Structure 1
Amino acid sequence: MLALSEFVSKHLSATATYPKHDIGVISITGTDAKKFLQGQTTCDINKLSAEAGLYGAICSNKGRIICNFFMLQKDDSILMLMSQDLIASSLTHLKKYAVFFKTDLTDATGMFQITETLSVSHESTKPEQFAEQLPITTDMGSIQLQLLSYPFNIHWHVTQANQTEHQESNPILSGLSLLAARPLIQLEQSENLLPQWINMQTTGGISFTKGCYTGQEIVARMQYRGKSKKQLALATWQGDMDTQQALLDSEGKNLGQVLSVEQIGDDHIAQIILNQDITECSELFLDGAKIHLIELPYQQPFAD
Structure 2
Amino acid sequence: MSIEWKTYLASQGATFSKDGQITDFQQQAVLSKEAVVCPLESQAIVAISGPDSQRFLQGQLSCNMETPKPEQWATGVACTPKGRMYSSFTLINTGSGYLLKMHRGIVGTFIQHLEKYAVFYKSKISQPDTPMMCLGLSGTHVTDVLSGQLPILPENQDAMAIDNSFLIKAPGMDNTYELWLPEEHLPQWWTKLTTQLQAAPESYWQRKMIQAVIPQVRPEYNEKYIPQHLNYPSIGYVSFRKGCYTGQEIIARMQNLGQQKSRTYSLVCTGTDNVLPGAKLENGKGQVIGEILESVSSINSNSCHALAVIRIEAAESNDVILTESKTRTIQVSPIPYPIDPRAELQQ
Does residue 57 of structure 2 align to residue 23 of structure 1? no
Of 246, 271, 275, the residue aligned with 2:311 is 275
Aligned to 1:99, which of 108, 119, 122? 119
Which 5+ residue runs of structure 1 have no aligned equivalent? Answer: 1-10, 123-132
Match of 2:7 in 1: none
Partner amino acid for 1:52? Q
The structural deviation recorded for 1:21 is 1.4
How far residue 300 of structure 1 moved from its aligned partner, in angstroms, is 4.0
CA RMSD, Structure 1 to Structure 2 (Å) = 2.6
Question: What CA distance in whole angstroms lies between the structure 1 residues aligned with 2:88 and 2:183?
Answer: 23
Cα distance in 2 between the residues matched to 1:232 and 1:282: 13
Distance in 2 (CA, whole Å) between partners of 1:121 and 1:270 is 26
C-alpha distance in 2, partners of 1:281/1:109?
Answer: 50
CA distance in 2, matches of 1:302, 1:271: 21
- Quick check: 1:173 aligned with 2:207? no
Q: Secondary structure at the match of 2:159?
A: strand
Q: Does 1:259 align with 2:290?
A: no
Partner-residue secondary structure (3-state), 1:47: coil
Which structure is richer in relative contact order (CA contacts within 8 A, separation 6 or more)? Answer: 1
Equivalent residue of 2:253, what SS?
A: helix
Q: Distance in 2 between matches of 1:257 and 1:298?
A: 21
Partner of 1:261: helix, strand, or coil?
strand
Question: 1:224 deviation in Å?
Answer: 0.5
| Structure 1 position 213, deviation (Å) | 0.2
Quick check: 1:236 aligned with 2:268?
Answer: yes
TM-score (norm 2): 0.75
Gaps of 5+ in 2: 1-30, 143-155
Q: Which residues in structure 2 correspond to 1:183-194 (within 5 Å)?
A: 183-194=215-226
Greater share of residues in helix: 2
Q: Give 1 or 2 for the bigger CA radius of gyration.
A: 2
After TM superposition, give the deviation of residue 113 of structure 1 in Å: 1.6
- Give, in angstroms, the shift of residue 109 of structure 1: 8.6
Structure 1 residues 61 and 46, CA, compared in 2 at 3 Å: closer, same or farther?
same
| Amino acid in the other structure paired with 2:126 | T
* CA pair 62-257 structure 1, distance change in 2 beyond 3 A: same
Give the deviation of 1:45 after TM superposition.
0.7
CA 1:26/1:280 → structure 2, altered by over 3 Å: closer, same or farther?
same
Amino acid of the structure 2 residue aligned with 1:259: L
**Which one is further off, 223-232 or 63-72?**
223-232
> What's the TM-score once normalised by structure 1's chain length?
0.85
String of CA shifts for 1:112-132, please: whole Å, max 9, x gaps. 12001121289xxxxxxxxxx
Matched, 1:213 2:240: no
Sequence identity (%)? 24
